[in-house]
Amino acid sequence: MSQVPNPILPGFHPDPSILRVGGDYYIATSTFEWWPGVRLHHSRDLANWQLVGHALTRPSQLALGGVPDSGGIWAPALSYADGMFWLIYSDVRGFNGFAKDACNYLVTARAITGPWSDPVLINRSGFDPSLFHDDDGRKWILNQLWDCRPDRNQFAGIVLQQYDPANQTLLGTPALICAGTALGVTEGPHLYKRGDYYYLVMAEGGTGEAHAVSIVRSKKLIGPYEVCPFNPVLTSAGHPDAPLQKAGHGSFVETPDGRWYLAHLCSRPMGPHRRCILGRETALQAIDWPEGDWPRLAQGGSLPALNTDIPDVAALPYQPDYFDDFSSPTLAQQWSALREMPTAVWLSLSERPGFLRLRGRNSLLCTFAQSLLGFRLLHHACLVSTRLEFFPRNFQQSAGLAFYYNTTQFHYLMITARDGGGRELRLLNGDGGQYLNALGAGVTLPPEGSVELGAELKDGALQFFYSMADSARQPVGPVLDATLLSDDRVIENGAWGFTGCFIALCAQDSADSAIPADFDLFDYRSSSCAGPGSETVNAANRP
């Protein structure tokens, strides 16, 4: 056996739905307000995963303008039947208070890389849908049932309803097949048939430290379902020192030789406040599942293992470094935009070949029309840099490098204009609706030339730096608390957060001047990097 380290998909990769088709494995993960929608990974050995694309890539499939932070695409569920991939997911437009305004949609494709169909609206009764293909050919939709009455258990259980694919409609009325277990907050259903039993796998306990995977089973599809005596099958609750926390929201996969694994989300807290800057990640656990019995973790107990046994594989690090010189005519699939597909209105790779050209629009606080591209933060320690040519005329134009969680949580090093002419650096920090300028009057820049902007992250401490051509890197501003860019900090501030930190290239322009911000590289290196000021890590020296 080989020890494969968790998480298998680091950084913002929550709510994994795992699937095997022949000798190929796939994982679909939530993307929330980020475009394109539903991230898709492929593997041949369960250990090494490659991003192969996204399911929702056209405006006819996805329109996210105005959705709140951590709204949008929740909990995709991937399945395969009748020679097709099926993907069902929630599009959440509001989730505060007693209301959960979510539509559940279904798309299909002959190949995992698409093209995927336009969405079919399934229902609006709750969120976290999944699709079960029974042995007799019938198809069934499951989802969490949301009870909007404030005096009730709003996580009302799991409902089941038959789906007619020929007419793309639901049949009959939904049946409540499970009200959940004593853990409560029942969501994320996945149904499996093995032997004489239907096994219903659920996420319970909420999305924080009490998160868990629970199982019930029945010999009849409609139930009644009996509760697993070993529940929760997976949880980190009660083990605050475990490296993988918030373990829950899982799905099963069987290998061709009959072994079973559980893919699940987890988080890795750091620092005295126990915040998870990388968001919710995807991990994998080996499962023992004797015929006619309950599935359990292979290592015993319910605590997720930091390493998973997979035979005869050699696991390589998941994308430890990334470099983009923007020489391709199309945007690399590692990049994500906020709430909309990039168009020539604000992004071009062809107007100035070899450069990413952004034209500024709204501010980082806006849920419409942000000119921003984000790369997922994948490591607790990294060095990142970009080189930017930007010549603003006044304070209304800015562009630069941000560590971005959402519209309230970010650290942003920007180039803007000085009063009276010229350029300067400013450092804007957002935390829970409070926005501060950490540089006061700013740092004066020469009127000409490109500017290297960068940052080093280590142990939750974030230090920005800059340099001009042929000059050493200079630190900019104080050492910042990067753990503010986390679900945990958002919750501390009285809101909800379910995503993760991105490193963003962005531009703003409230004067509609169309002044371009030209980025000619992006360089990301994991913890093996040297510190700011070292010539060995100067982005200009990168091939």
Active site residues: 15, 187
DSSP state letters, 220-245: STT-PPEEPTT--SEE-TT-TT-SSE
**How many Å separate Cα 291 from the centre of its chain?**
35
Token representation of residue 268: 């890795």
95's tokens: 């989730």
- Retrieve residue 380's tokens: 């607790």
Token pair in block for residue 77: 């569920």
**What is the signed CA dihedral for 400, 401, 404, 410, rounded to 10 degrees?**
-70
Using alpha carbons only, what angle is made at residue 265 by residues 263 and 271, rounded to the nearest 5 degrees?
140
3-state secondary structure of 205: coil
Answer for the pair 88, 102: CB distance below 8 angstroms, yes or no.
no
What does the chain come to in residues? Answer: 543
Contact by Cβ (8 Å): 28, 69: no
**Cα separation of 35 and 340, whole Å?**
6
User: What pairing do the DSSP bridges indicate for beta strands 50-56 and 382-389?
Assistant: unpaired
Cβ burial of 167 (10 Å; 0-12, 13-18, 19+) is: exposed
How far apart CA 496 and CA 169 sit, in angstroms, is 33
Specify the 3-state DSSP secondary structure of 411.
strand
Instruction: Please state the φ and ψ torsions of residue 447, each to the nearest 5 degrees.
Output: -70, -20
Task: Output DSSP code: residue 118.
Answer: P
* Separation of CA 417 from chain center: 34
How far apart are alpha carbons 336 and 75 in whole angstroms? 18
Q: Please name the helix (run of DSSP H) or strand (run of DSSP E) that holds residue 21, with its range, or none.
A: strand 17-21
- Cα-Cα-Cα-Cα dihedral sign, residues 234, 239, 243, 246: positive
Which helix (H) or strand (E) segment is 261 a member of? strand 260-267
What's the one-letter identity of residue 540?
Answer: A
Task: Give residue 461's Cα distance to chain centre.
Answer: 22
Tokens of 39: 């991230």
The two three-digit tokens of residue 41, written as one number: 């990974």
Nearest to 210 by CA among 179, 243, 185, 177: 185
Buried b (16+ CB within 10 A) or exposed e, 75-105: bbbbbbeeeebbbbbbbbbebeeeebebbbb
